[in-house]
Amino acid sequence: MGHAKFECALYVMCRGDKQKKELTKRFEEEHPGNNRLFMWESHKSPNRIDFALSSGEFASYLDDDILAIAEWLQTNFKLKIQGYCYEQDEDTAARWEVHDDKIKSASLTWLKACTVEHNEMLRKIAEERFHADFNQE
């Protein structure tokens, strides 16, 4: 069996420093999501808090934990978790996100069958359609 890759790019944007400090304090005290994800201050924005997977955890079993954190953030701070998780092994790849209190996922495995030219063409179409630069997060 090959090596699996997991990337957690989940985050929350606080409304200010006071909320960020309170959220951090309560998260450490209450441990929503069974303490399988940890958080830290992001370097990307002063009001952003990033989440990461605790070492040794496996992504596929985190749905309930991520949803518990999403519910905790909404209930206690009126904030929505943002971002995505990405998981890949030698045979499959998937991206999943939280939307409307549910985990939505999409298989990306089909992209492996596309040529480089097809991938570049699909990327260009997506950038034009969604007015996005997919070189950035």
Q: pLDDT tens across 26-72, in order?
A: 998 988 876 767 788 888 889 999 988 766 555 556 788 889 999 99
Q: Region 77-104: what's the mean pLDDT?
A: 89
CB contact at 8 A, 10 and 84: yes
What is the pTM for the complete model shown? 0.78
pLDDT at 16: 95
pLDDT at 76: 96
5 token code pair: 């890759």
pLDDT-derived band at 7 (thresholds 50, 70, 90) equals: confident
48 token code pair: 């952003």
